[in-house]
Structure 1
Amino acid sequence: MPSPSLPPEVRRSAGAYLEAADRAAPGLVEGLYLHGSLTYGDYRPGRSDIDFVAVLSGRPAGHVVQRLGEALAELGRHHPRPYFDGLHVTRADLTGPPADCPDVPCIGEWEFQPVGRFGVNPVTWHELARGAITLRGPRLGPGDVWADETALRAYSHGNLRDYWRPALAKLRAGEGTVAAGPTERAQGLTEWFVLGVARLHHLLATGRLTSKGGAGRHALTAFDTEWRPIVNEALRIRNGAGTSAPGYDTDPAARVRDTIAFVEMAIEAGLRLGP
């Protein structure tokens, strides 16, 4: 069962998942590993999601996948937050590159996909390889999980170009709506964009993975001082600390403008670093 050293809501959700999955398909889930913010010591109750990889005893048949989805739906009904986001693979899938992994059962923000690719990427594989939290099954050691630093850099570079650039264009197109909308949504977008892009810049600049918090701290020193207010605002939102800086409190549109400007700058800076 989950370690007592984990945050209570993580122990609760992971334990409930294992119980529900075992009832639905006994013997199917032979390994459960957590990665993401928990492994960086950067988990934030009320803001962080739980990132998991379940290792299955074999490739499940369709009716078994359906029962697995029902087990996750049960977990979501009883414990809606934090999200329990992850994927279900075999041990053989982890020994090769994610590109060779077939579509698998996965879930993100309680949207279950019987066959999908949520989380099937080099970041997940590398986080497992660098030190996943083991809740069931043997610890993952050298050779158990594929890792290739060149492929990780190429993936991160492509992610800036193919995901974050289009996402930024959508944010820019809806700038006025976001600024005039609910404060919580606008703040969430600032945290997501600023720290998400900063994580990729950190990887391309240093060759190391980091958490969202680590990415924010990197951005405070990697970029000019003019960007510190919006980076500190993103960190403040993530940490759930206090109120916004006076400028953002009285002018929510300024937060959106500064978010857009920072993200545009950081994407281009990351792309210049090359894959």
Structure 2
Amino acid sequence: MTRSDATDRLLDRFLTELRGLTPVAAWAHGSLGGGDYQEGRSDLDLIVVLDGTITARTVRRVALLHARLRGEPLVAKLHCTYLTPATAAGAERRHLTWAHQRLFKRTVTPVTRRELHTFGLVLSGEPPEQLLPPVTDDELAEFVARDQRDFWRPQVDRPADWTQDVWVDLGLVTHARAAVTLREGRLITKREALGLLPGLGAPVEVVEDVRRRRYEEPGATSREWAARRGQLTRDYLGPAIDRLVTAYT
């Protein structure tokens, strides 16, 4: 894990600003919770549980809170979803979220919920098991298989997206993590996923490219390599997703 004063300063500042909203708990999941955080590359994935109902006034106060953080170097990486004790249950429920420098609503997926129960980092207040219902193995597997089938498989057939780093990185890593979850019922880090991908048949040169950009100093990506990398990734992921989904649904 690479984490310096910039990450700790942002988290401390966020928690200080959060006090005015009377939080019941604040947790980190994703790379920070799982021990694979890479400062400046990983997102800061947070969940906050607020006391009481989220009203229009609450939304304004959340927006102002994040606006006050704008001067922090890593603030664009900070993503936070806001729950209440009364709305924490139900993976289909959409919650107030700050991400990509704006407010919208999104779900807290079964993967995120399992992360919180397995290795969630308590930043303040109550632990996840006191406020968040557990996720069964069947619920987790159903979500993971559906995500591969309904989201990632159609994306493979849209070649324009796959010249971008983010699609290659997430597409490959998410598939490897899905394979392990469906076969073994556990969650793995991105580092573990990259180590497993060659054995799953992924193109080694692309896996190495993803690993280098995440854990070393990334070099410039030429237009030719971006196109070839995207094609190699799509050629691998399409059949691999089909096989995985067929085996576990």
TM-score (norm 1): 0.79
Residue matched to 1:88: 82
What is the distance in 2 between the residues matched to 1:214 and 1:203? 12
Query: How much does 1:143 deviate?
Result: 7.5
1:199 aligns with 2:201: no
The C-alpha deviation readout for 1:33-84, integer Å capped at 9, x for no partner, is 0011122211111210000000111112211211111211222343454511
Kindly indicate whether the alpha-carbon contact (under 8 Å) linking 2:10 and 2:72 is maintained by their aligned counterparts in 1.
no
1:162: how far off? 1.4
Runs of 4+ more than 6 Å apart: none
The SS at the match of 1:146 is coil
1:263–1:145: structure 2 CA closer, same or farther, 3 Å change rule?
Answer: same
1:162 paired with 2:159, answer no
- Any idea what the Cα deviations from partners look like across 1:207-247, whole Å, max 9, x if unmatched? 111122221112222x23x62222222222221346589xx
Q: 1:131 to 1:174 in 2, by over 3 A?
A: closer
2:91 is aligned to 98
The one of 180, 194, 204 aligned to 1:216 = 194
| Residue 101 of structure 2, aligned match among 77, 96, 110 | 110
Matched to 2:90, the amino acid is P
Distance 1:239 1:220, change over 3 A: same
Could you tell me which residue of structure 1 aligns to residue 206 of structure 2?
Answer: 230
**Could you tell me whether the CA contact under 8 Å between 1:201 and 1:269 is conserved in 2?**
no
1 CA distance for matches of 2:161 and 2:27?
Answer: 38
2:118 aligned to which of 122, 125, 130: 130
Structure 2, unaligned stretches of length 5 or more? Answer: none
147, 162, 180: which is aligned to 2:135? 147
Aligned to 1:13: 10
Task: Flag structure 1 segments of 5+ consecutive residues without an equivalent.
Answer: 179-185
Structure 1 pair 240–158 and aligned structure 2 pair: CA distance change class (3 A): same
Please identify, of 234-243 and 57-66, the stretch whose mean Cα deviation from structure 2 is larger: 234-243
After superposing the two structures, state which structure 1 stretch, 36-45 or 258-267, moved more. Answer: 258-267
Question: 3-state SS of the aligned residue for 1:97?
Answer: coil
* Residue 61 of structure 1, aligned match among 55, 58, 81: 55
Aligned partner letter, 1:110:
Q
Instruction: Note if 1:31 corresponds to 2:9.
Output: no
**Compared with structure 1, are the counterparts of its residues 18 and 242 closer, same or farther at alpha carbon in structure 2 (3 Å cutoff)?**
closer
Distance 1:227 1:68, change over 3 A: same
Cα distance in 2 for partners of 1:166, 1:19 equals 42
Deviation (angstroms), 1:258: 1.1
Cα deviation per residue 1:92-127 (whole Å; 9 max; x = unaligned)?
A: 433x3323x4x32112222212xx11x421111111
Change (3 A) 1:20 1:205: same
**Distance in 2 separating the partners of 1:131 and 1:251:** 37
Structure-1 residue corresponding to 2:45: 51
RMSD: 2.7
Shift of 1:7: 4.1
2:249 aligned with 1:261, yes or no? Answer: no
> Which residue of 59, 64, 67 corresponds with 1:73?
67
Q: Which moved more, 1:32-41 or 1:254-263?
A: 254-263
TM-score (norm 2): 0.87
Partners of 2:62 and 2:161 lie apart in 1 by 37
Three-state SS of the structure 2 residue aligned to 1:93 is coil
One-letter amino acid of the structure 2 residue matched with residue 190 of structure 1: V
Aligned positions, number? 248
C-alpha distance in structure 1 between counterparts of 2:174 and 2:67, whole Å:
28
